[in-house]
Structure 1
Amino acid sequence: MTIADNLHQVQQQIEDASKMASRTANSVTLLAVSKAQEINKIEQLYQAGQKLFGESYLSEALGKIAALRDYPIEWHFIGPIQSNKTREIAQHFAWVQSVDRVKIATRLSAQRMPNQAPLNVLAQVNLFGESSKKGANREQLPELLAAIHELDNLTLRGIMSLPPATTDPAQQNSQFREINAVFKQFQNQYSTMDTLSIGMSGDMIAAINQGSTMVRVGTALFGERPPNWKERIKAN
């Protein structure tokens, strides 16, 4: 199958899942996770109709953004954010989905260029206490959302979450239902919140069933990453 075929297949899966959830397919946005993927594959996927791409590693992402600058791609940063990387992230991305603390939000707002539109931001939440994952917990989330909302050069668009991995559909639905409940709670408070970024290749059906408005899909679109991709990124 070609990359274009993969895209059509994933789009069909989203459409089918949306119908099962009594939703329209255009209520769910597809973000192509392109970390560790070759530039020519991103170009092929773009030419097949995909316009939103997500990157997790800044140095790798900057090279891709420069190489593909002639394409009006909407770039999303979805990886962990270090304080010394915020300036480049603020200036080169349209969206940041992984803001997990007030300090990072404040730096992103201060370092956004004056001629740029406000940066679209999702607060990353960690509702299930996984120490291996970033994200604000339930107690930290209200302060984080308020800070993002109040900062001049940011627009609070919603929340992103990575729940514990499981292949059990019942558990997937339960976790996503809990995240969606938190999203709806704060959506009533902040009118700009319209995006719930949950669900990846292995659990996007359950995520869509529980209200996801954006799914993040990588290998189902691009194919497997190179076996040495982590070493290659570290070398950069």
Structure 2
Amino acid sequence: MTYNNDNLTRRLEAVRDRLRRAEKRFGREEAAVALVAVSKTRPAEAIRACAEAGQQLFGESYLQEATDKVTALFGLNLQWHFIGPIQSNKTRPIAENFQWVHSVDRLKIARRLSEQRPEGIPPLNICLQVNVSGEVSKSGAGLDELPNLAHEVTALPNLRLRGLMCIPAPADDFEKQREPFRKLREAKTALQRDGLDLDTLSMGMSHDLEAAVAEGATMVRIGTAIFGPRNYR
């Protein structure tokens, strides 16, 4: 796909405006919600155009493609977020190249990320992916197993547990969109009451951004609304 940089930056600005309007509508502080531009399957040139328009946070899911882009765009002061499923044999390059991982759903993966995080760089910021909808086909820790997992991850030396992430089943009704996000917010609140220092809710995509902001999102992950329809592999 060929990208028109002017169109790309216009769409990026439209998403930023949409996010600010949602913050105002739901009583959130201005700029309380960070925008992660989901750039998986998108070329480095599109990311560079967004970076030139002031976007710094980018989300990737395909590891080899992502590390190629990290290398190609080195020096742009970008913050890389891994948001896809994690296989055990892929943890080292994730630990070496990313600043955030949103999709940790089991202790084995967290331990490997901690062990393989290079010395001399800050701890890796972690969100635990939670299966708030209880879908068998979806990744994520169950709400019942979340407290034990969170406490175990918090104890790992080279990670910093920041919060929770979810990818709920799509819904068209606004109130139905809010329900899983509400569950994630309540899970975060329960963990905070249990002594964990969490500050992040990674939730909301192009179709349900407003519902996520209404329920307390601190990061939204937006791809299609910025880059256009995705060409899946």
1:137 corresponds in structure 2 to 142
Q: 1:22 deviation in Å? A: 0.7
Q: For 1:107-155, what per-residue CA distance to the aligned partner results, in whole angstroms no more than 9, with x for missing partners?
A: 0000001111100000000022112211000222112111211000000
Give the aligned residue type for 2:47: I
Task: Point out the more displaced range, 187-196 or 155-164.
Answer: 187-196
The answer to whether residue 22 in structure 2 is matched with residue 9 in structure 1 is no
Cα separation, 2, equivalents of 1:8 and 1:128:
32
1:123–1:158 Cα contact (<8 Å) kept: yes
2:115 corresponds in structure 1 to 110
1:197 corresponds in structure 2 to 202
RMSD over aligned CA atoms reads: 1.1
1:124 corresponds in structure 2 to 129
Cα separation, 2, equivalents of 1:164 and 1:223:
21
1:32-111 map, 5 Å: 32-111=37-116
2:215 corresponds in structure 1 to 210
Q: Secondary structure at the match of 1:25?
A: coil
Q: 1:191 deviation in Å? A: 4.7
Normalised by the length of structure 1, the TM-score is: 0.94
Cα separation, 2, equivalents of 1:62 and 1:9:
28
Give the aligned residue type for 2:152: A
Q: Secondary structure at the match of 2:55?
A: coil
Q: Secondary structure at the match of 1:54?
A: strand
Cα separation, 2, equivalents of 1:42 and 1:138:
35
Normalised by the length of structure 2, the TM-score is: 0.95
The gaps in structure 2 that reach 5 residues or longer are: 1-5
Cα separation, 2, equivalents of 1:190 and 1:67:
41
Q: Secondary structure at the match of 1:27?
A: coil
Q: For 1:8-65, what per-residue CA distance to the aligned partner results, in whole angstroms no more than 9, with x for missing partners?
A: 1111111111111111231100000000011111000010010000000101101111
Q: Secondary structure at the match of 2:81?
A: strand
1:14–1:25 Cα contact (<8 Å) kept: no
Q: 1:190 deviation in Å? A: 4.3
1:187–1:194 Cα contact (<8 Å) kept: no
The gaps in structure 1 that reach 5 residues or longer are: 231-236
Cα separation, 2, equivalents of 1:130 and 1:103:
22
Task: Point out the more displaced range, 102-111 or 135-144.
Answer: 135-144
Q: Secondary structure at the match of 1:208?
A: helix
Q: For 1:165-195, what per-residue CA distance to the aligned partner results, in whole angstroms no more than 9, with x for missing partners?
A: 1111110112211221111111233453100
